[in-house]
Amino acid sequence: MSVVSYEIIDGVGVIRLNNPPVNALSYALREGIIDAVNAAQADASRALVIVCDGRTFVAGADITEFGKPAREPSTTTVIATIEQSAKLVVAAIHGTALGGGFELALACHYRCALSSAKVGLPEVKLGLLPGAGGTQRAPRLAGVDAALELITSGNAISASKALSLNLIDRVVDDELLAAAVSYAVELADAGAELKKVRDISIDPATAPAELFDKWRKTVGKKARGQTAPLLIIDCVAAAVTLPMDEGLVQERAHFTSCVSSPQSAAMRHLFFAERASAKIKGLAKDTAVREVKSVGIIGGGTMGGGIAMNFANVGIAVTILEVSGEALQRGLDLVRKNYGITVSKGKLSEQQMNDCLALIDGTTDYEGLCDVDMIIEAAFENLEVKQQIFAKLDAVCKPGAILATNTSYQDVDQIAAATSRPEDVVGMHFFSPANVMKLLEVVRGEKSSPVTVNTAMKIAKTINKIPALAGVCYGFIGNRMFRNYIAETQRCLIGGGTPEQIDNAMQQWGMAMGPLSVNDLSGIDISYAARQTQTQEQKGEPACYAIPDALVEMGRKGQKTGAGYYRYDAKTRAKSSDPIAMEVVEAMAAKHGVERRPISDEEIQNRVIYALINEGAKILEDGIAQRPSDIDVVFTNGYAFPVFRGGPMHYADAVGIKKVYDSICSYRDQFGEAIWKPSALLAQLASEGKTFNQWGQERE
């Protein structure tokens, strides 16, 4: 079937696009649109409507075509053809008009949308900028400030918001095609002009230099290290000062440089990785998904409360179980407080907050959970405690209820063994703050049934999380790797670095915060407490935890005590370096026989990131992660790994596997095999000249 069809309805030529799943502007669609618009010029139609079949209006350029040789007609040619049509063209938008799709709509003379539709220019999330006129047309319609918000955030906006910004002209509630056709008839009857956005000029007084400076500062902070956002600002500035065609030339030049940049390659990799990670390899197509209409949460602490919010936000009823009425009240109060903060930021209405709160209930009795469809245990991180809880759940929960644990380290199989139905048990590991962080690590136990795992993976999408499937091991994917990241940070610290140097080096590299500042923020005492229950093997070598142990034992638990690796001002929380912390570092180095030496920023960056990569490769060898790209999804969505580096495994591919492997071998020679044992998979790929990506593709 052709991807573009054409018929005349009530005198209006309807160009219908049908390129599943999201009507991406692939070659066939581009060619079809041009042919249809050109052919319609000579027929009896009075005006044209462009409408899409399926779930959405055009969702943008076909991302799979980037990096391949360009093929005419380009999206730019499609857009020029539409804009130059001698017959008036109306875009009829449903679903999401995104990127090149919204740019196509902006080239139409009028735009009509369903009230449920959304529009946006998300290219920045792919390390790109709108390359088909978006940076020139959006500010001409919406003004510079609103356009910069739209394009630098990449977030889609509702039809009503777009209407208020002049980005669309009419919003309708249903019957989109009929409404768009009658809109076109109405415009044709009135002899309406062919409104071309390019003809609008922007009053320079509305776009002073200070406005652009403000945006450069904001974007420089929010998207530190990324190239595209700053180029977007340059393009929008050009829309103010240059004629349209010159602005388009500048936009195209910047777009072209972004498309071929390593940053965009990394972010496009993540786009597909995030979709792949939701798929369970080898799962039979007809595997059922259990319905989840109600959820029980064990534990109303920060984690339990955050998890509860995810479900209430999408209309799923939640019952929180706590050990006492007092603890329960504290938990419910915390949830209320968190919603209140969201309301005060204007991100939620009072009504929406009340609707969510009405869905969250509490109990202190396990019997209160006898009817729920899914239980997520978020209790104290201790195997025995969790086993006791699961034995109780086994006794009260209805058959078929999914029994999930939010454990970050404990053995899911041993937890499942406390029940008579291990097939219903699964790990669902949320990341803190659980109502914000996008990642959900789903842990498949030895006996978890396909239906149980499938349900856990599917519910992730319902609650707007990105799932990644992991097998059972200490720390699963994320924390197993993160332990190596932290351990190497500690080796760099005790071996010669300072907290400032290490944090700056890692921040420069792209991490949102340096590892030691993160530790101060979350509390050094948390991992200290965890270590008290760990075996020596789990703890690793003493040099890796001697410094944090000493700091905690001095009462320096991080920001909450005003001191940790740094000192914090009691009022402003401003951070400053602290000679006492350095005394601890030096004393611990002496105690553990480590000779401190100057260490370069590059060495810190390489050692810390290569430690992650080496462990990631071992995780693949062990079959704990399904694919290399899943590891990238885990790290970028759960650990603030910079998206423009694409995740640890993509980064290894970008650096070159051989180079990473050789460096790891040299660290092994320097620091010993107990710490730096190169992964066998890494060695294999290095000798075969293959990337992780190729290795993963071969196994799909």
Interaction of residue 614 with ligand 3H9, rule CB under 6 A = no
156 versus 328: smaller Cβ distance to ligand 3H9: 156
144 versus 228: smaller Cβ distance to ligand 3H9: 228
Q: Where are the alpha helices (DSSP H) in 523-641?
A: 524-531, 536-539, 546-553, 579-591, 601-621, 628-638
Residue given tokens 């980064």 in the structure block: 651
Question: Which residue of 123, 373, 377, 503 would you call a contact of ligand 3H9, by CB under 6 A?
Answer: 123
Interaction of residue 60 with ligand 3H9, rule CB under 6 A = yes
Question: Which residue of 14, 78, 126, 376 would you call a contact of ligand 3H9, by CB under 6 A?
Answer: 126
Residues pairing with 49 in the sheet = 14, 90
Minimum Å gap between C-beta 420 and ligand 3H9 is 37
Interaction of residue 24 with ligand 3H9, rule CB under 6 A = yes
Interaction of residue 132 with ligand 3H9, rule CB under 6 A = yes
Minimum Å gap between C-beta 134 and ligand 3H9 is 6
Minimum Å gap between C-beta 460 and ligand 3H9 is 12
Give me the sign of the Cα torsion angle 208, 209, 212, 213: negative
71 versus 591: smaller Cβ distance to ligand 3H9: 71
User: Which range in 21-29, 438-446, 660-668, 678-686 contacts ligand 3H9 by CB under 6 A?
Assistant: 21-29
313 versus 489: smaller Cβ distance to ligand 3H9: 313
Interaction of residue 96 with ligand 3H9, rule CB under 6 A = yes
Minimum Å gap between C-beta 271 and ligand 3H9 is 7
Interaction of residue 131 with ligand 3H9, rule CB under 6 A = yes
Question: Which residue of 13, 15, 45, 62 would you call a contact of ligand 3H9, by CB under 6 A?
Answer: 62
Minimum Å gap between C-beta 92 and ligand 3H9 is 17
60 versus 299: smaller Cβ distance to ligand 3H9: 60
Q: What are the tokens at 29?
A: 């669609």
User: Which range in 55-63, 332-340, 481-489, 535-543 contacts ligand 3H9 by CB under 6 A?
Assistant: 55-63
On the CB side of 116, CA atoms within 13 Å amount to: 9
- Residues between 261 and 320 with contacts to ligand 3H9, criterion CB under 6 A: 272, 275
User: Which range in 121-129, 303-311, 582-590, 681-689 contacts ligand 3H9 by CB under 6 A?
Assistant: 121-129
On the CB side of 458, CA atoms within 13 Å amount to: 15
Catalytic residue, from 123, 274, 322, 615: name it.
Answer: 123
113 versus 184: smaller Cβ distance to ligand 3H9: 113
Catalytic residue, from 7, 65, 83, 103: name it.
Answer: 103
Residues pairing with 365 in the sheet = none
Interaction of residue 331 with ligand 3H9, rule CB under 6 A = no
Minimum Å gap between C-beta 82 and ligand 3H9 is 14
228 versus 686: smaller Cβ distance to ligand 3H9: 228
Q: Are 317 and 359 in contact (CB under 8 A)?
A: yes
User: Which range in 7-15, 119-127, 196-204, 642-650 contacts ligand 3H9 by CB under 6 A?
Assistant: 119-127
Report how far residue 595's alpha carbon sits from residue 587's, in angstroms, rounded to the nearest whole number.
11
- How do strand 425-430 and strand 402-405 relate by DSSP bridges? parallel
Interaction of residue 99 with ligand 3H9, rule CB under 6 A = yes
Q: Are 445 and 418 in contact (CB under 8 A)?
A: no
- Write b or e for each residue in 120-157: b if 16 or more Cβ atoms lie within 10 A of its Cβ, otherwise e: bbbbbbbbbbbbbbbbbbbbbbbbbebbbbbbbbbebb
* Known catalytic residue at 103: yes
Interaction of residue 114 with ligand 3H9, rule CB under 6 A = no
Q: Are 377 and 298 in contact (CB under 8 A)?
A: yes
Minimum Å gap between C-beta 66 and ligand 3H9 is 8
User: Which range in 130-138, 338-346, 366-374, 427-435 contacts ligand 3H9 by CB under 6 A?
Assistant: 130-138
**Peptide bond between residue 208 and the one before it cis (omega within 30 degrees of 0):** no
433, amino acid identity:
P
138, amino acid identity:
A
User: Which range in 57-65, 342-350, 486-494, 649-657 contacts ligand 3H9 by CB under 6 A?
Assistant: 57-65
Find, among 611, 599, 609, the residue nearest to 496 by Cα.
Answer: 599
Report how far residue 422's alpha carbon sits from residue 516's, in angstroms, rounded to the nearest whole number.
39
Interaction of residue 153 with ligand 3H9, rule CB under 6 A = no
- Write b or e for each residue in 368-398: b if 16 or more Cβ atoms lie within 10 A of its Cβ, otherwise e: bbeebbbbbbbbebeeeebbebbebbbebbe
The vertex-108 CA angle with 103 and 111, nearest 5°, equals 90
- State the binding string over 182-211 for ligand 3H9 (x if CB under 6 A, else -): ------------------------------
**How many residues in the shown chain lie near ligand 3H9 by CB under 6 A?**
26
Report how far residue 95's alpha carbon sits from residue 73's, in angstroms, rounded to the nearest whole number.
25
Residue given tokens 């270590």 in the structure block: 531
On the CB side of 192, CA atoms within 13 Å amount to: 18
Interaction of residue 75 with ligand 3H9, rule CB under 6 A = yes
Question: Which residue of 2, 38, 64, 201 would you call a contact of ligand 3H9, by CB under 6 A?
Answer: 64
Q: Are 630 and 468 in contact (CB under 8 A)?
A: yes
Residue given tokens 């290290």 in the structure block: 225
Q: Are 101 and 114 in contact (CB under 8 A)?
A: no
Report how far residue 159's alpha carbon sits from residue 144's, in angstroms, rounded to the nearest whole number.
19
Max intra-chain CA distance, the chain: 90
97 versus 403: smaller Cβ distance to ligand 3H9: 97
275 versus 658: smaller Cβ distance to ligand 3H9: 275
Report how far residue 348's alpha carbon sits from residue 170's, in angstroms, rounded to the nearest whole number.
26
* Known catalytic residue at 123: yes
Question: Which residue of 33, 34, 59, 505 would you call a contact of ligand 3H9, by CB under 6 A?
Answer: 59
Rg (CA), the chain: 28
Instruction: Tell me which residues are annotated as active site.
Output: 103, 123
Note the residues at the interface with ligand 3H9 (CB under 6 A): 21-22, 24, 56, 59-64, 75, 96, 98-100, 103, 122-123, 126, 128, 130-132, 134, 272, 275
